[in-house]
Amino acid sequence: IYGIETLEVCDGLTIFPIPGLWSLEYKRELTSPLCIAAAQGFTECLLYLLEHGAHPNLIAGGKAALHEACVNANNECVELLLEHGANPNQMTDDGLTALHLCRTPQSLCCAKALVRYGAKVNLSSEEEDETPLHVAARHGLPHHAQLYLRFGACVNHSSSSGETPLGVVCGVAQEKTVDSQDEGYLEICRLLLAYGANINSADKERRSPLHKAARNVQLKLVELLLDHGVDINAIDYNGCSPLSSVLQSSVVRQEWEPHRVVQTLLNHDSIKVWPQALLKVLTACAEAPKTVEILFNSYTLVPVTPKWVEAIPEDIFHFHRTFYESLFALEYKPRSLQHLCRSALRKQFGKNCCSLIPRLPVPKPLQQYLLLEPEGYID
């Protein structure tokens, strides 16, 4: 309601605040002295409270003191609470255990203490049905993941959305730059595969780990999955292959060099885009000429028509003039003999292009040409 509320102060004066819309409801947050001490890392205060009868498993504000200590990675408080009978498997009101709340590298000692005191590593969250291993994968915590796996975590447990830990790590891994990658996600992926993770496990949208790594432009993860025999041509419910997935990210994530993922997939004999759909791909990927070049060169011959010229916005054409002029110069023309020889050799090698071409007794630049290394123009 609109109106003026008054505030009475101790000396009898009445202050009239600014008129406005004032809510008649307020939110009250519940907590306890024990939860505050655990959250803030006040070990001595926590010990004093416990010694004077504070209940270690009291839920206040949706969490117990052990949960608060884990959220804030207060290792000594976690140890102290467990020593005084805190339940390591107690859930918050949101259905999370203390292990689910160990989400930072600093919380590793908390996780170690929890499993030592009997925390169940396969206890799932109530809503998402995710285990602590899912949480470690999502936050890039390889040491947490190794701890849970060593204590019997199920490596292929599926969440309510059908996500396994391997699918999670491939879908959330981040790179700040191409030269400065977060190796934590890659390490977790190696660890999960070493413990028998199903490399082709798909979620409810039938997206495999390779779909997610490709869409997320994670070159090292893509290479690792390919080395372990992942199905390179799996199709999701939207009819997308891993190659289609990375093409969808080719413009928005150019700083991560998506053309490298496209090149890697094609050198492992990925199915290509239907030739009649190339015009649509060209339109969507026009700002990523390296991706367009690699994809175009993977075909023996694709007719270039006037519609291709019309598909490129004028500003993009001028910005990448050299490349697009060389592409459009092929309108109704055959490719060079050199390109046709490349196509024949690549067809012969198939999925072994990556392993066989580098062994050929030919100069390095020619090997790169055979492996579809972008040159900035079309021959």
Q: Dump pLDDT digits (tens) for 219-229.
A: 999 999 999 99
Percentage of the chain surpassing pLDDT 70? 90
Biggest CA-to-CA distance, the chain: 97
Angstrom distance (rounded) from CA 224 to CA 209: 11
**pTM for the full predicted model:** 0.86
Mean pLDDT, the chain, rounded, equals 90
pLDDT at 20: 57
Angstrom distance (rounded) from CA 370 to CA 59: 64
Q: Name every residue whose Cβ is closer than 8 Å to that of residue 133 and which is 6 or more positions away in sequence.
A: 121, 145, 148, 149, 153, 154, 155, 157, 165
| pLDDT band at residue 265 under the 50/70/90 scheme | very high
Alpha-carbon radius of gyration of the chain: 29
Angstrom distance (rounded) from CA 279 to CA 105: 46
Half-sphere exposure of 248 (CA within 13 A, CB side): 14
H or E stretch including 258? helix 258-267
| Chain position carrying tokens 């079309």 | 378
Residue type present at position 230: V
pLDDT at 24: 52
Please count the other Cβ atoms lying within 10 Å of the Cβ belonging to residue 195.
18
Q: Dump pLDDT digits (tens) for 123-166.
A: 999 999 999 999 999 999 999 999 999 999 999 999 999 999 99
Half-sphere exposure of 265 (CA within 13 A, CB side): 34
Are 123 and 93 within 8 A, CB to CB?
no
Q: Dump pLDDT digits (tens) for 30-66.
A: 889 999 999 999 999 999 999 999 999 999 999 999 9
Give the burial string for 120-148 (b: 16+ CB within 10 Å, else e): bbebbbeebbbbbbbbbbbbbbbbbbbbb
Q: Dump pLDDT digits (tens) for 78-114.
A: 999 999 999 999 999 999 999 999 999 999 999 999 9
